[in-house]
Amino acid sequence: MWEFIARSLDASTIFTFAALGELINQRSGVLNVGVEGVMLFGATFGFIAAQSTGSYLLGFLLGIAIGGLLGLLHGFFSVTLGADQVVVGMGIWILGFGLTTYIGNPYTGPLGMERIPTILGLSPFFYVGIALVVVSWFVLSKTSLGLRIRSVGENPSVAEVSGIDVTKTRYLCVTIGGMLGGLSGAIYSLFYNPVWNYNFLMGWGFIALALVFFSMWNPLILLGGSLLFGTMWQLSLNPQLVLPGVLSRYIWRTIPFVITIGVLLTMSTKWFRVRWGAARPEALAEPYVKQ
């Protein structure tokens, strides 16, 4: 049983990092639907680096770096060039999906390294994740920087006239978001599921995206959501814990995706919709053109 809980919490860590990164993105008004692509890059490059050099540190660092680079790329297209952010996000996803399939292919298979030391049976990242959530919440709601980020996401022209550099702020956020996304991918491939296979993230990037919407851009709710999703994912892999013998294991694999759709549905109910509409950064996904 503890094994199950531990795995759930480990899974939730990855959701936390990926979704938190995207939350920061979106709070500044930039939408990245290609989180899956960023995670794939982080996972693949981190895996390759770690396996080739034998150093976990290098693997994680490379994952963060490549995520940050992708964040910058996204920022360049979305902020500087003002392109349609959904198109850019799709581009990043397919780029990730396509390139990592080819690049990672020679490394298909187990990582073959000793597991990262755990604290209380959980990866150290779990605790880092919780800390990051609290820090993000604090920064966003209580500091000047947070106010600036939120203003840029709500009404960039007002922010600009008030003396805030919208471009710089957005670049900052997409880079941080990208780094967190890349890191989450690296955690996946180096700790949670250290066996490389193409497209092995199984849609987690998109689930993380749904999580951000569900959390109404509040880091604390996001943490709760990722714990929920992590548990649900583990459940789908171990249906025997809940309903032994019922339905083939393939049907069980569909459950997390069904539940994600369900979650999106609950968000359309009246209660949710009004609060969601109010919490949504008003300028989300709108390119900002300096007057």
Partner 1 sequence: MRIGSYELKLEKRLTLTGWEAAIGSILAIVVALVLFSVIFILAGINPLFAYQEIFSYAFANPYGLPLTINRFIFLLLCTSAFIIPFRAGLWNIGMTGQLYAGALGAFAVLFAFGGRESRTSDLAPEILIPFMLTAAALGGAGLGAIAGFLKGKFNTNEIVVTMMLNFIAFWLVAHMIKEGGPFMNPGGRGESFELPPSVYAPLIMGVPVTIFLALGVAILLYFAFAKTEIGYQIKAYGHSPAAARYAGISTLKIPFLVFSVGGALAGLAGYHYFAAVPGVYKIARNYGYFGDLAFYGIICGLISLGNPLAAIPVALLFGGLSIGGRFVQGKLNMGFGVDYALLGVLMIILVAFQFFYRYKIVWVKTGEERLDVGVYR
Partner 2 sequence: MQKGFLETVKRGETVLEARGITKRFPGVVANDSIDFEIKAGEIHAVLGENGAGKTTLMNILFGLLQPDEGEIYIGGQRVSFRSPLDAIDLGIGMVHQHRKLVSAHTVIENIILGHPRAGRILNLKRAQEEVKELCEKYGFQIDLRAKVWQLSEGEKQVVEILKALYRGAEVLILDEPTSALAPPETKTLLASIEAMARDELAIIPFITHKLPIVLAISDRVTVLRRGKVTARLDTGRVTEKGLAKRMVGREVIFRMERTRVEKGKPILQVENLSALSDKGFLALNSVSFSICEGEIFGIAGISGNGQHELVEVLAGLRKAEGGKVILEGKDITHSSSLERWRMGVGYIPCERIEVGSIGDFSLVENIAMNFYFDDDFSRRGILNYGKIRKLTEEIISEYSVMAPSPDTKAKNLSGGNLQRLILARVLSRRPRLVIANLPTQGLDVGATEFVRNKLMEAKKERAGILLISEDLDEVLSLSDWVAPIYEGKFMGVLPGEGAKRESVGAMMAGSRLKG
Residue type, 100: T
How far CA 17 is from CA of 24, 136, 186, 221, 249, in Å, comes to 11, 11, 11, 14, 28
Say whether residue 134 binds partner 2 (CB under 8 A). Answer: no
User: Any idea what the Cα angle at residue 242 is, between residues 238 and 248, rounded to 5°?
Assistant: 55
Based on the shown chain and the rule CB under 8 A, indicate whether residue 251 belongs to the binding site for partner 1.
yes
Asked if 215 contacts 221 with a C-beta cutoff of 8 angstroms, the reply is yes
The answer to whether 123 and 130 have CB atoms below 8 angstroms apart is: no
109 forms bridges with which residues in the sheet? 196
Q: Which residues pair with 119 in a beta bridge?
A: 122
Q: Is residue 143 close enough to count as binding partner 2 by CB under 8 A?
A: yes
Contact 198, 104 (CB under 8 A): yes
Minimal distance, residue 154 CB to partner 2, in Å: 5
Q: How far apart are CA 18 and CA 69, in angstroms?
A: 15
Whichever of 208 and 283 has its CB closer to partner 2, that residue is 283
Which tokens go with 290? 């300096």
Check residue 274 for interaction with partner 2 (CB under 8 A): yes
**What residues between 182 and 221 interact with partner 1 by CB under 8 A?**
198-199, 202-203, 206-207, 209-210, 213
Query: In this chain, which of 52, 118, 162, 240 binds partner 2, going by CB under 8 A?
Result: 162
Q: How far is the CB of 64 from partner 2 (least distance, A)?
A: 25
DSSP letter at 188 equals I
* Contact (CB, 8 A) for 215 and 19: yes
In angstroms, what is the minimal distance from the CB of 260 to partner 1? 5
Q: Does 159 bind partner 2 (CB under 8 A)?
A: yes
Question: Which residues sit opposite 196 in a β-bridge?
Answer: 109
- Does residue 27 belong to the site contacting partner 2 (CB under 8 A)? no
Residue 155 is a binding residue for partner 2 (CB under 8 A)? yes
Is residue 154 involved in binding partner 2 (CB under 8 A)? yes
Among 145, 242, 247, 265, binds partner 2 (CB under 8 A): 145
Number of residues that bind partner 1 (CB under 8 A): 45
Report the SS3 class of residue 196.
strand
Would you tell me which residues interact with partner 2 (CB under 8 A)?
142-145, 147-148, 150-151, 154-155, 157-159, 161-164, 270, 274, 277-278, 281-282, 291
Binding site for partner 1 (CB under 8 A): 33, 77, 81-84, 86-88, 90-92, 94-99, 101-103, 105-106, 198-199, 202-203, 206-207, 209-210, 213, 248, 250-251, 253-254, 257-258, 260-261, 264-265, 267-268
